Structure 1
Amino acid sequence: MGLRFALAGGREGWVRALLTGVGVGLGVALLLLTAALPGVLTERDRREEARLDWPFSTEVVPQADDTLLIARTDTEFRDQDIRGRLLEAEGPQAPLPPGLSEFPAVGEMIVSPALKDLLASDDTGLLRERLPHDITGTIGEQGLIGSQELAYYAGGAGLAGEINSSAVRLDTFGTPAGQASEEENDPVLMLLVLVVFVVLLTPVAVFIATAVRFGGERRDRRLAALRLVGSDAAATRRIAAGEALAGSLLGLVLGTVFFLIGREVAASVEIFHISVFPSYLNPSPLLALLVAVAVPAAAVLVTLLAMRGVVIEPLGVVRTARPARRRLWWRLLPPLAGVVMLYPMVGQGRENGEFNEYLVAGGVLLLLIGITALLPWIVEAVVSQLGKGSVSWQLAVRRLQLSSGAAARMVNGIAVAVAGAIALQMLFAGVEGDYTEDTGLDVSLAQAQVSLPDGQELAPAADRLAHTKGVSKVYALSYGYVAERPWEKQEPGEVAVVTVADCATLRTVAEFPSCEDGDVFAVSGAEYDTGTAVLNRPGRDLHFEVSDPSTASGYGKGFRWAVPGGVKQARSIPDPASHERGGFLLTPGAVPAGMAAMLSAELYLEVDDSVPYAMEHVRNTAAAIDPLTDTVRWTALKRSSSYDTIRTGLFVGAACVLLLIGVSLLVSQLEQLRERRKLLSALVAFGTRRRTLSLSVLWQTAVPIGLGLLLAAAVGVALGAVLLRMTGTSVRVDWASLFQMTGVGAGVVLAVTLLSLPPLLRMMRPDGLRTE
């Protein structure tokens, strides 16, 4: 009978069931998305591993019909990473990268669909200049880790001479068996992952529990009518459970539809540089089954629990009388139990093993669920003391006094989400220093570094970069390594570095009293330099390092350089890249013929960021010098990739939860307005101004959300403090994040309230009193 009330009760029943179904469906869709996350991560890792193109072994693969030469040409465009490779097949059996059906010829490239669209847009002329190859195809899905990934494979030539510097020879793609590296789990990172999941999923559960109670007041009046015609209390509860079950089953169907629609839309969306293919989003069958069973069971359980506080008699619902005041003592038990579960791990840190995942999940869950128990008591206690004010204020206060529970239910989800977000922000801010390190790069002197492939002449490259738009200054130097004995004999003895640059650039790596072209300096004071003092003997022949992968030793016959007389002394200082250079410093006039070919070249650039797209011009010039040139934008700080991945996952999940919060709040608000349609019509018929009613609805939302956000801030700070103490980190309140998260929560509620005003204005008509 309850199922029939929900599904065959005319327009009223259908609207009620549809609102419940939409509310539950949104939560189910997000739960199914969460159930698909393990598969998403596994598939992305599998595809990334399948296309690995850098050998894990130091042994050089010999040239054969089944080998391929490949060089990395990664770049960036407007803070977007672009994965690039040059390919040169050495035989008909050369392995194809995943996603390719043929090799591109020289001057051609095969690109990802997203890169093809980017290159076709009107404002990407700088990128087209950097990638001038003809597009002859697109990379298949198996060769990409995300639908919006920017990647290309271009045809290359002459890469054999770049082996062991910019290119490698492969006979297969992927990680060789037995060589996959296993990283040791960091307990703090595992704690972050666990807390992120609990914090993001708890608001979803709260919203599902709220959605199944849509239309609660009208349902209770219908049940009172059933009591009048002979239904007993047990039958009444079973009928109510049937109605809730119908709404939850409809929610499962709608949630599956929402998920399938979102699954297809996901291919065209990129959030925080993360994108997926629809085929990634396949929920684990076991987790999907758990959602299908848990949601209807929870709907029935919530309905039965809600009815315990309502006496449904044949002559009406004893809820319209003044309700008994809520008790506080049992509402404090869930958060206290949560603290008790987390307390044994306080001070554990990362040195004392992994955190107990069951205690962590249970403790965080109880603290957050405690908000839903405390908020109705707080709202009731506060609104009972409110009174005098404008007409709109009095209407709102009276409504809140009569149904404070419904008002609290509407904001429970947003309060739980904000509290969890504040705690996570505190935890992330507290441990960020452990996963952030100073790069040591002198960004005040230079903001970018360009490394030329071996064999490229330094002076012409430096001149071209110096005349590049946005480049203020260029520090150009080249370097190589010398030893007292030939390298190919595998006993080179003492080793020192030889650096060649003009006097102005040499002053960025060492201190010396005077310098002019033709000078040679021996450097002292470098931390790890032990060979300079031994090798600095006039007339002594030193042997340059020359790599040759075709030999057994890996070295070829080196260039010999005799230490000249009159070598001056210099003292090492950290260079712009924070390296202390020892060995010998040579000015260009002191470089003998043949030495330049033995050196590797680096250039440090001072970039004027006020010039639009200055770094794009730098990358274009570097690519024009040689496609294998490596260009790096310097940053003062560097964060752990694992930490960044978890933080990105939090932002992606938070974006999805915020969307759910907004839509669910809107559905809840519309349901409450629908229930009060006749009351609003009566007030308008008596002459109440629409402006007054609109303000009263705003006050009815603002008061509970204000109380909810205050409670969320308190619980969030408490939970964040406990989590920080668990990681062994000093407690510090991240006030900026606290106000930011609270503001976001308030902004979502304000947006929902504004969106509900048009339906409210349509309901405020006297003809709403008409009935049949």
Structure 2
Amino acid sequence: MIPLGVRLALAGGREAVTRLAVITAAVALGVGLLLAALAGMNAVGTQNQRYAWLNTAVVPAADASATDAMLWQVRRDYYHGRSIGRVEIAALGPGAPVPPGMPRLPGPGEYYASPALDALLRSTPAAELGDRFPGHPIGLLGRDALPSPDSLLIVLGRTPAQLEPLGPQRVDRIMTTSPDECTMDCYVGINGAGMKLTLAAVAAGLLFPVLIFIGTATRLAATRREQRFAAMRLVGATPRQTSVISAVESTLAAAVGTAAGFGVFLALRPGLAAIPFTGERFFGTDLSLTAADLLLVAVGIPLGAVVASVLALRRVRISPLGVSRRVTPRPPRAWRLIPLVAGLAELAYFIGRRPQSTDGQITAYISGFVLTLIGLVLAGPWLTMTGARLLAGRAGRPAALIAGRRLADNPQAGFRSISGLVVALFVTSVATGTITTFVANRGAPSGDSLAVSSLAKTFWPEDGPAPSADQIPAGLAAVPGVRQVIVLRHNPDRNAWQGLITCAELDRLRVFGGCPAGAEVAAVPSDLVGPRALDLPAQERHVWDAATIPAAEVARQPILSIVVDTTGPVAFERARTMMINAFPRGQFPASGAEWAADNSRELVQFQRLADVIMLASLPIAGCSLAAAVAGGLSDRKRPFSMLRLTGVQLGTLRRVVALETVVPLLVVSVVALGTGFLAAHLFLRAQLRYDLLAPPPSFWLMVAAGLAVSLAIVASTLPLLRRITGPEAARND
């Protein structure tokens, strides 16, 4: 049976070869995307492992007096919004541990820089960046120390006397535990578990349309294949023999497609490495596959093809005559709406009842989304039937009447052709609606916000005594582009991050807000911007709360922070460099926008992933639609040929085919988009208490383009009608 199956698959004429080619392409696409998702998950773990050494300070030296130790301090700096990791070390003896990526510890006045930072230092005026790093370079950090090719890292050598006043940690070993596995409050790294979960969701979102594409491709010429296998049954073939022949055909295509899928993955890998899913690019070798990944794909995909082929022949196995004695299938029942309603109800149930644990939230929401998606696919035929009956009931032309009746007789087949696009629209609407709302509520401030142009240095109590006014660099106000240097005082009536400023000073500044009527002193955040005014444009004035302290007492309070208002990035960075050198203790000065960008970096990653889902899933769904329409025309060429012989014009048949696809496409697409946005709204209300915001115009343009391409695909198949509905097709085979 196996040789016969191979022969039938390869020597069955143009139709068989075309079918094998389409199945192979579908499987190759699915395998390539699956491998890319698996490699992406592996890359997240590999990248996170290279963050481990930056968490060395979480494990202090066991013996504080040991000489085989060193002083260690890690802080974050910025340049034009990009984060710079600054590591300062001072060896206490010859046996001090050496971090990865460098042959030896840098001595006092020496440093190692990452290749990206080294290039930046060479191309940037020293007053803006280089003057922050005392000493001279002695080499570049190796890949073992770099999470990404774009990482900005520097390791500075200092003497113990230079480093001790800055409050370093004494360590005697380098951390090697990945932040994912760290149980000691590691603070540098990425949420690998969350990112892997997100990539898994992306993989599922992409694979649903791909699986539908594969299923659609396997049904090409389904009627002809069923007739062929039924004839084999009638001449004596057993159900097992027909199953073997079908499995050989499907396994052959799946095996070739799987091999081609590895080629697709290798072709995609350089582009995937350049996408900063975690905020930074991957090294190409990070996107690797384990032996388990290879075995899972190489064995699982062909095995799945065999199962699909056996299920596809279930009618022939029951009765070979059943293929010829076709009857109208039973219409879908309204119970198909139950899973869809149940999925939405589950998401709605957790509004006000959000699970406390992360695992509980994952279980609650993922199961709700999956149940809703399954419900949408199950409800599709019923919705198609409803739309078809409305079309037939209001039909004024023969084409609409024929299309409506045919769809109403077999809505399962009508929905099957557009199911991939429907799934893609649901997934993209959920992702876009959720992420758009995330970014709008918790993203970085707008470009004209004061949070972008003002720089703040706060003196926290744990950093030591605050400076006096005469310690502020006199040249700071003289930097070209610096408009104001504002000193905020500590507010004894509020918590540590609240400051004081007189209303007279605030009225002079104006752009930073104002005081309530009758107040003398305002209570303001330490950066004069704060979360309430984070997105407040400079032309709008925010009113701060009044403070109870008299204006005469403000100047007697310790300095809380220094805020520098600038006109551009050059002045901003020059002022930052001057403040870092003047006040080296504690956190380095930064803008509110830079802090917000750190917090919203993960949201931006999710936005990129949503774009990937949309850009990849819609073309895949279009391919599935093309295969379904072409296959449907091939299976119905004899009925259409009979209609032409009875006098039906070719244009009428073309309108029938178009309506049979367009009606379910538009009806179920509207339902899919509405269901996706409703599911996103319920999730946002349950998890974050946000209301869904409208997606950007680019989303609607993308959806319109996807639907337009789908309609164009349908139109491109219509010329086939003339070729396949000639008189010769009306003969019984």
TM-score (norm 2): 0.68
User: Which residue does 1:605 correspond to in 2?
Assistant: 564
1:706 and 2:708 aligned: no
Q: Secondary structure at the match of 1:85?
A: strand
Deviates more, 1:20-29 or 1:713-722: 713-722
Q: Supply the distance in 2 between the matched residues of 1:725 and 1:630 (Cα, whole angstroms).
A: 37
User: Which residue does 2:378 correspond to in 1?
Assistant: 373
- Letter paired with 2:85: R
Q: Secondary structure at the match of 1:163?
A: helix
Matches within 5 A, 1:89-128: 89=91, 91-103=93-105, 110-115=112-117, 125=124
Q: Secondary structure at the match of 1:472?
A: strand
Matches within 5 A, 1:569-718: 573-574=523-524, 576-577=526-527, 602-608=561-567, 611=568, 615-616=572-573, 618-619=575-576, 622=579, 630-635=588-593, 645=602, 647=603, 650-672=606-628, 703-718=663-678
Q: Supply the distance in 2 between the matched residues of 1:340 and 1:650 (Cα, whole angstroms).
A: 26
1:16 and 2:19 aligned: yes
How much identity, in percent, do the aligned residues show?
A: 21
Q: Secondary structure at the match of 2:590?
A: strand
Q: Supply the distance in 2 between the matched residues of 1:583 and 1:287 (Cα, whole angstroms).
A: 69
Unaligned runs of 5+ in 2: 187-191, 506-519, 531-546, 729-733
User: Which residue does 2:162 correspond to in 1?
Assistant: 161
Structure 1 residues 181, 744: CA separation in 2 closer, same or farther (over 3 Å shift)? farther
Structure 1 residues 334, 444: CA separation in 2 closer, same or farther (over 3 Å shift)? closer
C-alpha distance after superposition, 1:354-404 (max 9, x if no partner):
638666554432221121122233234324544769999999989978986
User: Which residue does 1:464 correspond to in 2?
Assistant: 475
Structure 1 residues 347, 766: CA separation in 2 closer, same or farther (over 3 Å shift)? closer
User: Which residue does 1:448 correspond to in 2?
Assistant: 455
CA contact (8 A) 1:448 1:632 kept: yes
User: Which residue does 1:267 correspond to in 2?
Assistant: 273
- Letter paired with 2:275: V
1:474 and 2:432 aligned: no
Q: Supply the distance in 2 between the matched residues of 1:615 and 1:259 (Cα, whole angstroms).
A: 44
Q: Secondary structure at the match of 2:27?
A: helix
Q: Supply the distance in 2 between the matched residues of 1:576 and 1:690 (Cα, whole angstroms).
A: 76
CA contact (8 A) 1:207 1:664 kept: yes
Q: Secondary structure at the match of 1:84?
A: strand
How far apart are 1:295 and its partner, in Å?
3.8
Matches within 5 A, 1:336-485: 336=341, 338=343, 347-350=352-355, 355=360, 361-383=366-388, 385-386=390-391, 405=412, 408-423=415-430, 447-450=454-457, 462-476=473-487
Structure 1 residues 110, 421: CA separation in 2 closer, same or farther (over 3 Å shift)? same
Structure 1 residues 697, 180: CA separation in 2 closer, same or farther (over 3 Å shift)? same
How far apart are 1:13 and its partner, in Å?
3.6
Structure 1 residues 693, 304: CA separation in 2 closer, same or farther (over 3 Å shift)? same
User: Which residue does 1:557 correspond to in 2?
Assistant: none
How far apart are 1:632 and its partner, in Å?
0.6
C-alpha distance after superposition, 1:307-343 (max 9, x if no partner):
5579999899659x88446312342343355467778
Structure 1 residues 700, 280: CA separation in 2 closer, same or farther (over 3 Å shift)? farther
Structure 1 residues 146, 444: CA separation in 2 closer, same or farther (over 3 Å shift)? closer
User: Which residue does 2:339 correspond to in 1?
Assistant: 334
Structure 1 residues 706, 126: CA separation in 2 closer, same or farther (over 3 Å shift)? farther
How far apart are 1:736 and its partner, in Å?
0.4
How far apart are 1:698 and its partner, in Å?
8.3
- Letter paired with 2:501: V
How far apart are 1:41 and its partner, in Å?
4.2
CA contact (8 A) 1:200 1:417 kept: no
Q: Secondary structure at the match of 1:174?
A: coil
Q: Supply the distance in 2 between the matched residues of 1:695 and 1:470 (Cα, whole angstroms).
A: 67
CA contact (8 A) 1:511 1:572 kept: yes
How far apart are 1:214 and its partner, in Å?
0.9
CA contact (8 A) 1:665 1:749 kept: no
Q: Supply the distance in 2 between the matched residues of 1:721 and 1:496 (Cα, whole angstroms).
A: 41
Q: Supply the distance in 1 between the matched residues of 2:707 and 2:90 (Cα, whole angstroms).
A: 58
Matches within 5 A, 1:220-259: 220-228=223-231, 230=235, 234=239, 235-259=241-265
Structure 1 residues 271, 465: CA separation in 2 closer, same or farther (over 3 Å shift)? farther
How far apart are 1:755 and its partner, in Å?
8.7
User: Which residue does 1:142 correspond to in 2?
Assistant: 144
Structure 1 residues 761, 227: CA separation in 2 closer, same or farther (over 3 Å shift)? closer
1:204 and 2:211 aligned: no
Q: Supply the distance in 1 between the matched residues of 2:653 and 2:84 (Cα, whole angstroms).
A: 55
CA contact (8 A) 1:194 1:361 kept: no
Q: Supply the distance in 2 between the matched residues of 1:573 and 1:172 (Cα, whole angstroms).
A: 45
Unaligned runs of 5+ in 1: 184-188, 482-494, 500-505, 514-569, 592-598
1:67 and 2:23 aligned: no
Matches within 5 A, 1:301-340: 301-306=307-312, 323-324=328-329, 326-336=331-341, 338=343
CA contact (8 A) 2:488 2:501 kept: no
How far apart are 1:673 and its partner, in Å?
6.8
How far apart are 1:129 and its partner, in Å?
5.0
Q: Secondary structure at the match of 2:86?
A: strand
User: Which residue does 1:487 correspond to in 2?
Assistant: none
How far apart are 1:710 and its partner, in Å?
1.5
User: Which residue does 2:533 correspond to in 1?
Assistant: none
Q: Supply the distance in 1 between the matched residues of 2:126 and 2:419 (Cα, whole angstroms).
A: 48
Q: Supply the distance in 2 between the matched residues of 1:9 and 1:155 (Cα, whole angstroms).
A: 71
- Letter paired with 2:268: G
How far apart are 1:654 and its partner, in Å?
3.2
Q: Supply the distance in 2 between the matched residues of 1:383 and 1:746 (Cα, whole angstroms).
A: 23
User: Which residue does 1:563 correspond to in 2?
Assistant: none
- Letter paired with 1:465: L
How far apart are 1:219 and its partner, in Å?
3.9
Q: Secondary structure at the match of 2:589?
A: strand
Q: 1:82 is matched with which residue: 73, 79, 84?
A: 84
How far apart are 1:44 and its partner, in Å?
3.6
Q: Supply the distance in 2 between the matched residues of 1:237 and 1:434 (Cα, whole angstroms).
A: 56
- Letter paired with 2:483: S
C-alpha distance after superposition, 1:552-577 (max 9, x if no partner):
xxxxxxxxxxxxxxxxxx97844544
Q: Secondary structure at the match of 1:50?
A: helix
CA contact (8 A) 2:52 2:175 kept: yes
Q: 1:49 is matched with which residue: 30, 52, 75?
A: 52
Q: Secondary structure at the match of 1:474?
A: strand
Structure 1 residues 606, 395: CA separation in 2 closer, same or farther (over 3 Å shift)? farther
Structure 1 residues 743, 600: CA separation in 2 closer, same or farther (over 3 Å shift)? same
User: Which residue does 1:540 correspond to in 2?
Assistant: none
Q: Supply the distance in 2 between the matched residues of 1:87 and 1:649 (Cα, whole angstroms).
A: 33
How far apart are 1:158 and its partner, in Å?
5.6
Q: Supply the distance in 2 between the matched residues of 1:662 and 1:644 (Cα, whole angstroms).
A: 26
How far apart are 1:604 and its partner, in Å?
0.2
How far apart are 1:449 and its partner, in Å?
0.6
How far apart are 1:475 and its partner, in Å?
0.9
Structure 1 residues 109, 22: CA separation in 2 closer, same or farther (over 3 Å shift)? farther
Q: Supply the distance in 1 between the matched residues of 2:63 and 2:450 (Cα, whole angstroms).
A: 37
C-alpha distance after superposition, 1:571-593 (max 9, x if no partner):
784454479899999999x99xx
Q: Secondary structure at the match of 1:270?
A: coil
Q: Secondary structure at the match of 1:51?
A: helix
C-alpha distance after superposition, 1:725-757 (max 9, x if no partner):
765x76x75150498766544434445666998
Structure 1 residues 292, 672: CA separation in 2 closer, same or farther (over 3 Å shift)? same
How far apart are 1:344 and its partner, in Å?
7.5
Q: Supply the distance in 2 between the matched residues of 1:695 and 1:668 (Cα, whole angstroms).
A: 21
CA contact (8 A) 2:451 2:591 kept: no
Q: Supply the distance in 1 between the matched residues of 2:368 and 2:64 (Cα, whole angstroms).
A: 54
User: Which residue does 1:131 correspond to in 2?
Assistant: 130
CA contact (8 A) 2:111 2:139 kept: yes
Corresponding pairs, count: 663
How far apart are 1:25 and its partner, in Å?
3.0
